[in-house]
Structure 1
Amino acid sequence: MGFSKLFIVLFILQAFLTMATTRSFAPKSNLFREYIGAEGNNIRFSDVPINHNVEFHYILAFAVDYTNSSYPLPTNGIFKKFWDTDNLSPFQVSSIKNQHGNVKVALSLGGDTVRGGQTCNFSVSSVDSWVSNAVSSLTEIIQEYNLDGIDIDYEHFHEDANTFAECIGKLVTTLKNNGVISLASIAPFEDDEVQRHYLALWKSYGHVIDYVNFQFYAYDKRTSVSQFIKYFQKQSKNYGGGSILASFTTEGHGGLSPKNGFFTACRRLKSQGKLGGIFVWSADDSKDSGFGYEKESQALLAKRH
């Protein structure tokens, strides 16, 4: 083989290795996700309209490593079900997935508060003990409910950022390696402490995280379309290489709302190839209004151009 041919072969091999080792997610612009079950208002999976031309993820809210008592206490990674288990049961999960081949169901961990409004803090005795307990307790829940993945939504922390990163990173890695889950997401928002913890996780374990459910509704409710796009670009840089989802809340407060230009911003981001999808907080709050914004979101995502 001549020198020129050898050089070309080596160049191609190097390019291939670079592509194989660099995390580069092509945004899933037809991905729709919605949190469900946190409010306990008799919501069912079947209440939410599903467009068959999108990838649709329900996210159960929440599993929490706290006791189930009226005075909940941290349990060092032993997770319990805190969502509406009567209406969102293992049977209901199997039923909705059997009816709709484009549906997956994930489980969100943590959240803002637990019963009685007590803050849900990320609290561990040690990295190894927390990870061991979390892998065991979550595997049991995930297999019981035939779930596809987990979402990380801790918003308050008793531990430093590196401890959080190691615990969550090792949890996700182990569950994926064990074949228990196929997808994982994180749900940060613009807050110094929150970002410090999630960016530490992203730096060390971003390669095992599939989606960033950034809570854009945590920004001011007076957010404009141009501001929203600037926020989106900022978080795309923070979580470089990640699939960033745009978001709104149907609780009625915070961020750029659908009636004030959210879909205009999403269409612009989608046309630029930057939109990783849309997620909504939450189905519980949308139930009384007929899920109009969910329908519009999915129609936008399903449209090819």
Structure 2
Amino acid sequence: MEPHKLFLTLLILQALLICHISTLSAANSKLFREYIGAEFKDVKFSDVPINPNVDFHFILSFAIDYDSLSSPSPTNGKFNVFWDSNNLSPSHVSSIKSKHPNVKVALSVGGYSVGSEFAYFKPSSVKSWVSNAVASLTSIINEYDLDGIDIDYEHFQADPETFAESIGLLIKTLKRNKVISFASIAPYADDEVQRQYLALWRRYGNIIDYVNFQFYAYDRGTTIPQFLSYFNTQSSNYIGGKVLVSFQSDVSRGLTPEDGFFTACKMLKSQKRLHGIFVWSADDSKANGFIYEKQSQEILAAN
């Protein structure tokens, strides 16, 4: 075959593959997810309204590979619990899961900060970090009887290839060992953050179940058309992935419920592109009686 014809054929095949992958991910979901426990506002699982007709994931925030709040130092993958473990203990996990069969509970790793310090992804090496992370997270996950993991590193002292290989091998190993049944990532529209997560997605996107894209990290005053444009952009970046929409319940950033978030959700649902909704966070929602959680789940549960 002549070189130009071969090149054209490869382009056509690539386009067909992208179309096929996009079609596979084009389906509505009844998945609702909520981060909980990072701000120590005495919120409990039982405080949050749970619609029995959705798939509900609590995401404990955060497990961090640092040693303490008072004088934090990186531990090269040895994770510790930094969420409100008094109100969100293993017995609380067991209780909420027994009362609500549609509930699963995951933990999120990384997060924004540890006390006054940024929570950096800072491995000594891929091999040592993965080994430590698998051991320490397996211990926490088993103790709490958790179902999945979320990756929410936001600060990096490593190149994208190291992040991709470390996190990819962590997820792969936890799944292979049947420690977790699902995994998600939580990127947002920052150049360095995207470089890291897109490197991970290109290499290990096939084992990542959900993309918790932080749409609330966009500017306050985001309009519905802007939000939908952002959604299209990130769906193209994480092609084939289940990109969830999101809002921040203190309504300080992004497209808020008052400004049309739920209208945007209904528009995506009409296009069969609403893969789920997640909220940051239950800690803040407690002050408003979880009104937005109720609305989110009603939209997801509706036929």
TM value normalised by structure 2: 0.92
Distance apart, 1:252 and its partner CA: 2.9
Gap regions ≥5 residues in structure 2:
1-16
Amino acid at match of 1:272: Q
Secondary structure of the 1:105 match is strand
Q: How does 1:187-226 map to 2 (within 5 A)?
A: 187-226=186-225
Q: Can you list the C-alpha shifts for 1:170-196, whole angstroms capped at 9, x where unaligned? A: 000000000000000000000000000
Distance apart, 1:26 and its partner CA: 5.2
Distance apart, 1:29 and its partner CA: 1.8
| Counterpart position of 1:31 | 31
| Counterpart position of 2:76 | 76
Call closer, same or farther: CA 1:166–1:87 in 2, change over 3 Å.
same
Q: Is the 1:27–1:243 contact (alpha carbons within 8 Å) kept by the matching residues of 2?
A: no
| Counterpart position of 2:106 | 106
Q: Is the 1:76–1:125 contact (alpha carbons within 8 Å) kept by the matching residues of 2?
A: yes
Amino acid at match of 1:290: G
In 2, Cα distance between equivalents of 1:194 and 1:95: 36
In 2, Cα distance between equivalents of 1:130 and 1:181: 19
| Counterpart position of 2:266 | 267
In 2, Cα distance between equivalents of 1:163 and 1:232: 27
| Counterpart position of 1:156 | 155
In 2, Cα distance between equivalents of 1:279 and 1:178: 27
Q: Is the 2:38–2:84 contact (alpha carbons within 8 Å) kept by the matching residues of 1?
A: yes
Kindly indicate whether residue 140 of structure 2 is the aligned counterpart of residue 141 of structure 1. yes
Distance apart, 1:286 and its partner CA: 0.5
Distance apart, 1:77 and its partner CA: 0.2
Q: Is the 1:36–1:60 contact (alpha carbons within 8 Å) kept by the matching residues of 2?
A: yes
Kindly indicate whether residue 277 of structure 2 is the aligned counterpart of residue 289 of structure 1. no
Distance apart, 1:68 and its partner CA: 1.3
Q: How many residues matched?
A: 284
Distance apart, 1:22 and its partner CA: 6.5
| Counterpart position of 1:170 | 169
Q: Is the 1:225–1:261 contact (alpha carbons within 8 Å) kept by the matching residues of 2?
A: yes
Call closer, same or farther: CA 1:254–1:22 in 2, change over 3 Å.
closer
Q: Is the 1:79–1:138 contact (alpha carbons within 8 Å) kept by the matching residues of 2?
A: yes
Distance apart, 1:25 and its partner CA: 3.9
Q: Is the 2:21–2:239 contact (alpha carbons within 8 Å) kept by the matching residues of 1?
A: no
| Counterpart position of 1:51 | 51
Amino acid at match of 1:247: S
Secondary structure of the 1:263 match is helix
Distance apart, 1:275 and its partner CA: 1.2
Q: Can you list the C-alpha shifts for 1:81-129, whole angstroms capped at 9, x where unaligned? A: 00000000000001000000100000000111111x2111100000000
Gap regions ≥5 residues in structure 1:
1-17
| Counterpart position of 1:97 | 97
Amino acid at match of 1:112: Y
Q: Can you list the C-alpha shifts for 1:133-187, whole angstroms capped at 9, x where unaligned? A: 0000000000000000000000000000000000000000000000000000000
Secondary structure of the 1:221 match is coil
Secondary structure of the 2:105 match is strand
In 2, Cα distance between equivalents of 1:107 and 1:79: 11
Q: Can you list the C-alpha shifts for 1:10-49, whole angstroms capped at 9, x where unaligned? A: xxxxxxxx9xx96944545210000000011111000000
TM value normalised by structure 1: 0.91
Amino acid at match of 1:63: A
Q: Can you list the C-alpha shifts for 1:252-287, whole angstroms capped at 9, x where unaligned? A: 311000000000000000110111100000000010
| Counterpart position of 2:122 | 123
Kindly indicate whether residue 237 of structure 2 is the aligned counterpart of residue 227 of structure 1. no
| Counterpart position of 1:64 | 64
In 1, Cα distance between equivalents of 2:241 and 2:212: 10
Call closer, same or farther: CA 1:230–1:26 in 2, change over 3 Å.
closer
Call closer, same or farther: CA 1:247–1:69 in 2, change over 3 Å.
closer
Q: Is the 1:28–1:243 contact (alpha carbons within 8 Å) kept by the matching residues of 2?
A: no
